[in-house]
Every structure is written in structure tokens, then in C-alpha cells.
Chain A
Amino acid sequence: MDVRGLTRTFRRPGRPDRIALDAVELAVTVGTTHGLLGPNGAGKTTLCKILSTVLLPTSGEVRVLGHDAARDPRAVRSQIGIAFGGERGLYGRLTVEQNLRYWAALLGLGGRQARSRVALTMERFGLRDRARDRVETLSRGWKQRVHLARAVLGEPQLLILDEPTAGLDPVAARAVRQIVSDELAGTCTVLLTTHDLREAELLCSTVTVMGGGRVLAAGNPAELALTDRPTHTVVLATPAPAVVERLCASVRATAVEVSSGRTELRFTSSTDLQQGIAVLLSDGVVGFTVGEGSLEDYYVDLVGSRGVGE
């Protein structure tokens, strides 16, 4: 998958165009699982739609498995599987098996081949016992399994999973992650969008962090976390703005107002942490809690100003 200078704008009558994607560059190696991270409105779903040929780019080039997604969509469609997920996207009054049989036919499978592929896929995704249940009676987690099963029916070379665990309870989310890691990873190239950095770290060999329609960072998730993310945090029990200002001037630390009156100091090394604590103690500040930095902190720092809905 090779994306170069991809821009996508949406017209809004009477208002300036909304830029959903802005000069996005992305390359994904065949056979890997790549994560697209970012908050709501980052442009992840727009990118997935362009890759799956249901949306045209405004400018730029998008090649999927060697084919131009804008000019040669038919060639792309025969090699991809998509799961946009959520409550919608399936025929609720039909059973799981009827849904899958229908989609198998649309993917060109017929007769015995379709029947065996559907049966095998239901087995793989733990859907065999729910085969005759109407989709509308399934929980969100089970629906997500049906979405995933549908996406792989055609044995695609590229699988696009748009937030497969969004809205799921922890148990269902874990089950879906297990399916992705055990059943899908390694069989084809997977592009997975998520809000959840931990999920990306678990499932993806490479990630791209997006915000406001732009690529903010890209690389191996572990490396990204080691190089840039805060390793330690210090949360002050009471406000001490003068001390914080002095500390940030002398030590490599970032101060973040995490809630009203509560300040969190983020350090990227244990040496900086020790120096920071020394500054606090020397200024008589003893009410603080020391913790480990999280991937979430890194993520929030990175996309912070491009947050929800932008």
C-alpha cells in the first residue's frame, strides 16, 4: 500500500471546505499489520474509505496492491476485505449464515465453494453456534465477529479494519483482538484503525499516528513509545505554579494541567525525574505522587491540540 500526498476535502455549503486529509504519506509493507492511530476526526476512516475505493481522493496518489484505487477500483476491490464495524452494515433480520452466504456470492463464490468457505469462516470466528441467529439479536461483540468474518470471506490480500473494538466491552474487545492476532495477522496485510495505543502495540508491527488529517508520527510502536513518550509522571497534590515554572526551566519536563488545580509533570528519563524531584523537595513541595508514564500520555501529547471533532 502506497499513499503519496493524499488530500481529501469535503465541501460545506456556505462555509470553508473541511480538510479531512492533508498531504498524507503512508507506506505499508505486504504481510504486516499496520495501525492507524488518532482521535475522532483525525482522518482514519476517510483514509480507509479511499483505500477501499468507496471515496475518491481530492488529490494525491493511492496505490493498493499495485493498483490505483481511484482509476482502477475494480482491480482493488477483488483483493481487499473491509470491516467498517459497528451496529450497522449487515442485514439485521437475516441470520448470520444468510448474511455471509449473500456476501460470499457478491465476492464471486458460488455453490459448494461458498458453502464450505462460509462454514469454515464461521468456525474460525466462533460463529457456528450463532449461525441461525438473526444478526439483530446479536450483541455488538458478536456483530463485530460477523463483520470480521465477512471481511475475510474472499481471502483478501489486504484487510481494512476500521476500529474493530470500538464500543465493545473489555471481554468482547479482547476476543476481537485475539481473532485479529491469531486468525488474521500473517495471512494478509492488515490495516487497523484504533484509538487505543495499547491495542496498536499488541497487534501492529508498525503504526502511523494521525491528527487533524495529518500524519504526526510513524514507525514501530515500541520505538515510538521509547523515544518520545514520558517514562515517568509526578502529580502535585496542591498547585505550585512558581515551582513548576522553575522546574521546567531547569529540567527536561513538561507540565500538563490534568484537571482543575492538578498539575502533572512528565519526564522522559529517570535522570530528569530525579532532578525534578530534587527541585520540588528543595522548594519545600512534598505532596506529590510519582507514577510511570503511559502510552496514553504520549498519545494525548501528540494529538492534544488536534483533539476531538477537529
Chain B
Amino acid sequence: MTALRVYLAAARLAAEQLRREPDAWMVLATTPLQSLAIVTILQHTGRDDLVGIAIVGPGLMALVQVALFDAAEQLTVDRSRGVLEPLAATPAPLVALDLGRSTVVLLVALLGTVESLAVVHLATGGQSSVHHPAEAFLVLVATVWATAGFVLPCTALLLMTRATRALQNAIPWPLALVSGVLVPVALLPVWLQPVSPFLYLTHSAELLRATTRPEPVSDLWTGLAVILVSGAVALVAGVVSRDRVFARLRRTGGLSLT
């Protein structure tokens, strides 16, 4: 009950902060523009078969960027505002707090995918669409879950480093590349391909692209299972790493910057 209460309170806090601090909405301005650029290039080169990338790629990139820049950074920002110590001194389960805040900002980022779909739909004269909306919905929900799990170890990592921005900038593009978000894994260099199946984003991207094609989505349930399990593993890793980081910060005095 307490965990749920904290989760909801954290989600409410994040929603209020989003309303008053519009930085996180910026991603919704850039995502459709990226989709437009990609679909234009694909049409110009005659690769209409890859138009799904223009719908899925920028949306998933937006999710990863928001996960790293907004969700995972929240405790670091709390520390700079002098809020982390009072937070740590409450009996609240901080995992519920992290998840509550992450859920809200990730759901906002998800709107980017909807925007991408709309832009690509218009750019292709209505020829591109999501042919399997129910499957796409399931994949998106699973992807948000996995990304929320992925946020937890990243939160711990950002708390441990002062090179926050460098890390946040370094992770998204390589991750997107290796997981085939922007370029299908089959088109990547052969030596890079073995890494891709271990990343949940690979499965999210492939399944979401499949929902933009008329033929039935193959391996839907296997893909969903991989994404959900990846999220659970990331969640557990996040809880363990966060506990360790907090123990270390209590030892070093790093819960505050003064």
C-alpha cells in the first residue's frame, strides 16, 4: 500500500513538474521533424519498404533520450536542489518513487511515436500506417516497462558520477545504433550484430516495424516476453545497484553536495 502510495505521489509530482518545467516537452518538437527527414530520404531513394523506420526510430530514440535526460537524472537533480537527503531520510521505498516519476515522463515521450506516425502518414499520402494497432500498443507498453527498468541502473550510475552530461550524451546513439532502432540490425556490420539480440530495444524496434507492414507480426509473443524479462532484469539490477550506491553515498557523504 505504501509503495503504491509513493508511486502515485511521485507520478503526481512528475506531472506537476512537467506542467511547470516544459523542458521535457522539447522532445515532442524534435521527434516529428526527425521522422520527416528520414521519410523524405527514404522516399527519395525509393526505399518505401523501410518507411517503418521513420515511424519507429525517432519515437524510440525519444524514449531513450527522455529516459536518460529526464527520468534517470531526477535523483541527481534532487541532490543539487538539496532534496535528496530529506528524501533518503524518509521511510519511503525509493524504487516506487523512481518508477512513479519515470512512468510519467516516459509516457510523455511516447507521444513522440504518435507524432511520428502522423507525420509519416501525411508525408506518404496516407500509404503508411500501423496495420496492427493492438500489437503495437502491447509492444509500446512492454517497451515503456523495460525502459523504466533501464532507468533505475542509469539513475544509480548518474548519482555516482559528476560527468552526468557526458554519460547522457554518450549512451543513446550507440544504443540506438546497435539495437537497430535507426538501421535494421540485418544492415549493420556483421561483427556488431551478435550484440543486438541482448538489447530489449532491438526486439521493440523489430516488432514495431512489423506492425507497420500488412503481413501478420511474427514472433510477437517471444519478442514481448524478451522485452518484459529484460525490463524485470534491469529493474532488479537497478534496485541492487541503487542500494549499493546509496550505501556508498551514506559512507562518503555524497547524498548532498555541501
Residues of chain A whose beta carbon lies under 8 Å from any beta carbon of chain B: 10-11, 49, 52-56, 74, 77-78, 80, 82, 84, 86, 88-94, 98, 101-103, 105-108, 110, 150
Contacts and interface: CB of A to CB of B under 8 A. Distances in A.
B168 to A, nearest CB: 22
Given A106-B87, A107-B91, A108-B91, A88 B82 contact: yes
Contact of A52 (B21, B89, B252): B89
Contacts of B1: 110
Contacts, number: 88
A137 B87 CA distance: 22
- Bin chain B's interface residue count: 20 to 34
A106 to B, nearest CB: 4
Contact of A77 (B2, B13, B90, B251): B90
B88 interface: yes
Contacts of B185: none
A84 B86 contact: yes
A86 B258 CA distance: 12
B17 interface: yes
Interface of B: 1-2, 5-6, 8-9, 12-13, 16-17, 20-21, 81-83, 85-92, 97, 250-253, 255-256
16 contacts: A49-B256, A52-B85, A54-B88, A54-B255, A55-B255, A77-B91, A84-B86, A91-B13, A91-B17, A91-B81, A94-B16, A94-B17, A105-B92, A107-B92, A108-B91, A110-B1
Contacts of B12: 101-102
Given A55-B253, A74-B91, A106-B92, A93 B20 contact: yes
Contact of B97 (A80, A106, A108): A106
B86 A102 contact: no
B251 A105 contact: no
B82 A94 contact: no
Given A88-B81, A102-B13, A108 B92 contact: yes
Nearest to B8: A105
B5 A108 contact: yes
Contacts of A150: 86
Given A54-B88, A90-B81, 15 more contacts: A52-B85, A52-B89, A53-B89, A54-B85, A54-B255, A80-B89, A84-B82, A88-B83, A89-B81, A91-B13, A93-B17, A93-B21, A107-B91, A107-B92, A108-B2
Nearest to A110: B5
A56 B250 CA distance: 6
A77 B89 contact: yes
Contacts of A91: 13, 17, 81, 83
5 A-B pairs with least C-beta separation: A88-B82, A105-B9, A106-B92, A89-B82, A93-B20
A101 B6 CA distance: 11
Contact of A84 (B17, B20, B21, B85): B85
B84 to A, nearest CB: 8
Nearest to B100: A105
Q: Name, among B8, B89, B92, B252, the residue most crowded by chain A CB atoms within 10 Å (CB to CB).
A: B89
B2 to A, nearest CB: 5
Nearest to A81: B89
A94 B8 CA distance: 16
Nearest to A10: B253
Contacts of B256: 49, 54
A98 B87 CA distance: 15
A192 B25 CA distance: 43
A101 B252 CA distance: 31
B190 to A, nearest CB: 45
A84 B251 CA distance: 19
B90 to A, nearest CB: 4
A164 to B, nearest CB: 14
A12 B250 CA distance: 16
A106 B90 contact: yes
Given A55-B250, A84-B85, A108-B2, A94 B13 contact: yes
Nearest to B21: A93
B222 to A, nearest CB: 39
Contacts of B2: 108
B6 A106 contact: yes
A256 B97 CA distance: 55
A102 B83 contact: no
Contacts of A56: 250-251
A103 B85 contact: no
Q: Name, among B83, B86, B253, the residue most crowded by chain A CB atoms within 10 Å (CB to CB).
A: B86
A103 B256 CA distance: 18
A102 B9 contact: yes
Q: Name, among A52, A53, A89, A101, the residue most crowded by chain B CB atoms within 10 Å (CB to CB).
A: A89
A84 B21 CA distance: 25
A98 B12 CA distance: 9
Contacts of A11: 252
